[in-house]
Amino acid sequence: MSSFAILLSLLMLSFIVTSLVIVPFIDLLYKLKFQRAQQITRDVFGKLTPIFDKFHKTKAGVPVGGGLLVIGVVATLFALILPVLEATGTEVTSVYANMPSEVGILFFTFLSFGLLGLYDDIKKFFGFKQTGLFGLRAKHKLILEIFLGLIISSVLYFDLGISILHIPFIATLELGPFFIPFATFTIVSFANAVNITDGLDGLASGVLMISLFGLWFLSATILDIPLSVFLALWIGSLISFLYFNVFPARVFMGDVGSLSFGATLAVVGLLLGKVIALIVIGFIFVLEISTVLAQLASKKYRHKKIMPAAPLHLTLQQHGWGEPKIVQRAWLVQIMLTLFGVWLAVL
């Protein structure tokens, strides 16, 4: 059986396993009352967010934590399948001499950022004292993300020897030790970008799924089997989750999913050495977090907003765009961004 056939088989296996357990998992979330509550939210300055509350009040009661299921399925299958492939004589190749570190950093990113998000979700929905942005204070959450990002970036630099930044048409830059803060910034930025984008049914999960197909193609072209296997399993599980996450959603991924998926998306881009392509492929996430940062800066320094609401998808809703319309058009834009990003990567 060819490597591509094996990867497709693993994608379908992950899809089937997730599909078999997702309905009981959603029922469990209901029993645990792990659900979005109707509440009055505030921004980082403590001010009310009436536009956000208006468009999210109908989502009260929907279970949150679907990302935990995806993490569990993908991590379990990934841990089981790599040894099976090696035991059956399948050649497991990697672009890195230290393949265990590559596998380990995928596990660590996927699980550590997921645990951080899960902690925040638990604080939100189980009645603990809410501070800052719902659960953790924003600054404490950011400090923990930076700490995890530094660990991951150090492994990428010291163990895997990654230290370059390739800029298509211009140059390949040797960053040396400066790769560590650069990679940390990339990881933390994408973790929060996916988290912010996860505000409409199927938006973040659909955009992420399309992005991963592009990165999966790139990993397969360089014959990085561990990374290709991981992405195949992730895509398969995410497709099953998306079925229940499209409008009207039956389950949300929660911070456990969005922080984990965003950080891991960045790490995949760093492992492939295609950060510029990653920015293009993940441009919708970049745009969403950029509008939030611009809005916060304007409110702080100009004492007025530059747009009705942030992130961008809230402003589109405020202008009368329906939720499915925004999401479906974002998917179409994402298809073209992914194609363009892959084109840049293979130049």
Q: What is the pLDDT of residue 148?
A: 98
pLDDT, tens digit, 9 for 90 and up, residues 262-304: 999 999 999 999 999 999 999 999 999 999 999 999 988 998 8
What is the per-residue pLDDT across 179-189, written as a single tens digit (0 to 9) for each?
999 999 999 99
Amino acid at position 224, single letter: D
Cα torsion at 190, 291, 346, 107 (round to 10°)?
A: 10
Low-confidence ranges of the chain (pLDDT < 70): 1, 37-53, 55-56, 126-136
Give the number of C-alpha atoms closer than 13 A to the C-alpha of residue 286, restricted to the C-beta side.
17
Q: Compute the distance between CA of residue 52 and CA of residue 309 in angstroms, rounded to an integer.
A: 8
* Phi, psi dihedral angles at 167 (to 5 degrees): -110, 110
| DSSP secondary structure, 117-172, as one string | HHHHHHHHHS-PPP-SSSSS-HHHHHHHHHHHHHHHHHIIIIIS---EEEETTTEE
- For the chain, which residues make up each domain, given as ranges? 3-274
What pLDDT does 58 receive?
74
